[in-house]
Amino acid sequence: MAQLPSLLGLNREQLAAALAELGEQKSFRTSQLQEWIWKKRVTDFEQMTNLPPDLRRQLASRYSIMPLQVVEQHRSQSGSATCKFLSRLLRDDELIESVLIPAAVGKDGDRSNRVTLCVSSQVGCAFGCRFCASGLLGLKRSLTTAELIGQIFAAESLACHRVDNLVFMGMGEPLANIDNLLPALHLITDPSFLAIGARHITISTSGHVQGLARLKTCGIPVRLAVSLHGATDDVRSQIMPVNRRWPLSELLPALENWRRHSKHIITLEYILISGVNDDPQQSEHLVNIARRLHAKVNLIPYNKVERLPWERPEEDVCRRFCHELINHGIPCTFRYEKGHDIDAACGQLRRRRISSPAKSDKISE
């Protein structure tokens, strides 16, 4: 049977219209339905006990709530408590990955109980960055608004905790799915829906200049991370085909424009790949770009992907690159990806599952 449309992608007016189509006009019914789904996170109409049984039956015959089902989860054994999960989209059985990341342990040894979720925005990706597992299988399709939100509901159920921070850094280019991303951001930030503050949301882009312009005008003050990974056009184009569509001469002015309207500092993500972008010339150009944008830099030593030729630089090369930035006054963090042991780099779990499908949808830990 075809998957029924999910209510997770609907705002209040759309929920009211869905109820009106079933002959239910009273606005308090919309409030009740909204409260069950968005405040209580109830995903089964039968449990909505203050709705009349007949309305519950009608809703269940026309709509679903969860648009996806978690089919695998892998918890890191490394102490980071990172949990990567694979979900099957009920609409067409496609697979996507999401990563739950608990807060780091603080200086005093306390673990804050804030939870971050890394969300996928597409099935696969059309952008084909040469170092990325998601790009290897190409783009299947963009996720619907309900599927973007469904990852949050699934994560909360796995973590038994509300998600506090969202990073759109999973599979896909979020700004290439801007038509579904913007309604999702409205639902996520609306106090009567998910109520996650915009400052707790980071959108990561590979440099989609057109989408950036639309994100800027939507009025939701999210944070921005840019996957730069090369500080000159020749290096960037070598590993990120998007640079041929929007080279640095277009991307950097767009980011300056973003910075002028945003109160948050831009983060430049820079994966260090041995012999590709880890030389002193690249660090010098990166210093200039970061200065121009008043940005901070997040350096990430490359996480090896099966079947790809790239390697992580030696540790002293990474440290030298980082010190070069710091010596020039650029705020710089150095991050090893959490969950190394669970294929935390985006797209690896899905790719493995596609090439050797599991016999059942049993959750493995």
Find out whether 48 and 37 touch, Cβ atoms under 8 Å: no
Beta bridge partners of 60: none
Nearer residue to ligand SF4 within complex by CB, 135 or 313? 135
State yes or no: residue 128 binds ligand SF4 (CB under 6 A).
yes
Residue 129 in the binding site for ligand SF4 (CB under 6 A): yes
Residue 284 annotated to the active site:
no
Interface pick for ligand SF4 out of 115, 152, 171, 252 (rule CB under 6 A): 171
Least distance (Å) between residue 145 CB and ligand SF4 = 19
From the list 132, 322, 332, 346, the catalytic residue is 346
290 binds ligand SF4 (CB under 6 A): no
CB of 250 to ligand SF4, least distance (A): 17
CA 354 to the chain's CA centroid: 21
Query: Is residue 175 part of the contact set for ligand SF4 (CB under 6 A)?
Result: no
Beta bridge partners of 267: 225, 296
Q: Do the beta carbons of residue 252 and residue 291 sit within 8 Å?
A: no
| Contacting ligand SF4 within 225-244 (CB under 6 A) | 227
Query: Shortest distance, CB of residue 50 to ligand SF4, whole angstroms?
Result: 43
Closest approach, Cβ 171 to ligand SF4, in A, equals 6
Contact between 298 and ligand SF4 (CB under 6 A)? Answer: no
**Of the candidates 165, 288, 266, the residue with the CA atom closest to the CA atom of residue 216:** 266
* 206 binds ligand SF4, rule: CB under 6 A: yes
When asked if residue 173 is in the footprint of ligand SF4 (CB under 6 A), the reply is yes
* Catalytic (active site) residue 346: yes
Residue 132 found at the interface with ligand SF4 (CB under 6 A): yes
Angle at 88 between CA 129 and CA 70, to 5 degrees: 110
Nearer CB in complex with ligand SF4: 76/134? 134
**Least CB distance from residue 240 to ligand SF4, whole Å?**
7
Find residue 117's DSSP bridge partners: 100, 166
Q: Which one from 97, 147, 173, 269 is the annotated catalytic residue?
A: 97
Q: How many Å apart are CA 287 and CA 281, to the nearest integer?
A: 10
B/e letters for 132-161, b = 16+ CB within 10 Å, e = fewer, are bbbbbbebbebbbbbbbbbbbbbbbebbee
Give the three-state DSSP class for 328.
Answer: coil
Tokens 């001469």 locate to 249
Interatomic CA distance for residues 129 and 42, integer angstroms: 39
The answer to the question of residue 212 lying near ligand SF4 (CB under 6 A) is no
Which of 67, 150, 172, 183 is close enough to bind ligand SF4 by CB under 6 A?
172
Nearer to ligand SF4, 67 or 135 (CB): 135
* Cα 165 to Cα 159: distance, rounded to the nearest angstrom: 13
Instruction: List phi, psi (to 5°) of 106.
Output: -75, 175
Q: Is 166 in the site for ligand SF4 (CB under 6 A)?
A: no
Nearest CA to 137 out of 361, 346, 300, 364 is that of 346
Helix, coil or strand: residue 201? strand
Using CB under 6 A as the criterion, what x/- string covers residues 300-339 for binding ligand SF4? ----------------------------------------
Considering only CA atoms, give the Rg of the chain.
21
**Residues in 88-127 that interact with ligand SF4 by CB under 6 A:** 125, 127
Which positions touch ligand SF4 (CB under 6 A)?
125, 127-129, 132, 134-135, 171-173, 206, 227, 346
Residues identified as active-site: 97, 346
